[in-house]
Structure 1
Amino acid sequence: MRINKIVDTATMALVWVGGLLVLGVMLLTIGDIVSRWAFAKGFIGLVDVTQFAVVGFAYLALPRVFWTDANVAIELYDDRLSPRADAALRAFALMLAIGIVALLLRYGWVQAERTLRYGDISQNIGIPMVGFWALILCGLAMSGLICLLRLWQCAATLVSGKRADAH
């Protein structure tokens, strides 16, 4: 299906963006270590930038986790279940995930609005905190959409009795 290819590409792109953030922080950290050794002076604000990159990577990678079914799971019986029973179990888990993601999105949106209204900034170099919330909300929104798509695929399996493969 064309939508599967689009989602696969979009989630991989988000992982790459998050990975580049972390790679950049790793290089800055190496530069900071060298600077401390050579000049006895480190980079100001590296903690803020590191926090931003880690939050970015974690939340931008989350949609890929949902898309590839890489969530932590205990697989005792689902290999033995019929496609319909497996789809019903997955649908239940996805409905729970959608509810949790929706709650997190709602809470995150309220916090992002508050952060924007008050002009909150990071402690050391003044990165606008709304940037952190933007990364979180982007990852959560994409995760919610992917969960809905996966739920639709489960519904198709429940109706047809054949597994609707995500990839």
Structure 2
Amino acid sequence: MTFFIGNMIKYWEVGAEFLDKCLKLLTAFVLFGLMTITCIDVIGRYLFSAPLIGSVELTRLLLGCLIFSALPIITWRKEHISVDIMDSFIPKKVKTFRDNVFNIAIATSLFVIGGKVWGLAERSQRYHEITLYLEIPVYYLTYFLALTCWLTAITSLVLVLTETLNKQYKNQG
């Protein structure tokens, strides 16, 4: 039984590391795309009086993709904005308990939000919603947002386990 659990943890860690690399790569590509679109749009607008058609739509879509693709990474690395004025006075066990309660609350919230967003994606697909100028189907991004909400929720629950087991990974903050 211990061998089975050890193997499951090992496979989980390898899969999580692969997913971490994929999300970082996706986030980097999206950020590069946003930068490229902005540069082309600004140069076209001010030098040639010809802005990039659909740049506003692409920026909106890519910005949503950027934020949500980085959310699981930020959660895993524990890099959310926090105020830690009192942390030096609070005992470690109390901090761990507090962090676990917050992570469970975050996971619960994101599971619910992911479900709502998934419903919106299904509706968007049913109604064949597209963007105004470039006619990009909206549901692709909406499904992606729901999946990343669920992935972040799972990440929060894994953080509860790692905090409880007092395990720290090299790519965590």
Asked whether the two chains share a fold, i.e. TM above 0.5, the reply is yes
Q: Which 5+ residue runs of structure 2 have no aligned equivalent? A: 1-8
- Report matched runs for 1:1-167 at 5 Å: 2=10, 3-4=12-13, 6-156=15-165, 163-167=166-170
Q: CA deviation at 1:151?
A: 1.4
Distance in 1 separating the partners of 2:34 and 2:83: 34
Identity among equivalent pairs (%): 16
Q: Deviations over 1:61-99 (max 9, x none)?
A: 000111011112221343444443222111111111011
Higher relative contact order (CA closer than 8 Å, sequence separation 6+): 1
Aligned residues of 1:8 and 1:67 also touching (Cα < 8 A): no
Task: Indicate how the Cα distance of structure 1 residues 10 and 40 shifts in structure 2: closer, same or farther if over 3 A, else same.
Answer: same
Q: CA deviation at 1:5?
A: 5.6
Question: How many aligned residue pairs are there?
Answer: 161
TM-score (norm 2): 0.81
Post-superposition, which runs of at least 4 consecutive aligned residues in structure 1 deviate over 6 A?
Answer: none
Distance in 2 separating the partners of 1:21 and 1:106: 24
Q: Which 5+ residue runs of structure 1 have no aligned equivalent? A: 157-162
Distance in 2 separating the partners of 1:8 and 1:79: 32
Aligned residues of 2:117 and 2:143 also touching (Cα < 8 A): no
Aligned residues of 1:59 and 1:139 also touching (Cα < 8 A): yes
TM-score (norm 1): 0.84
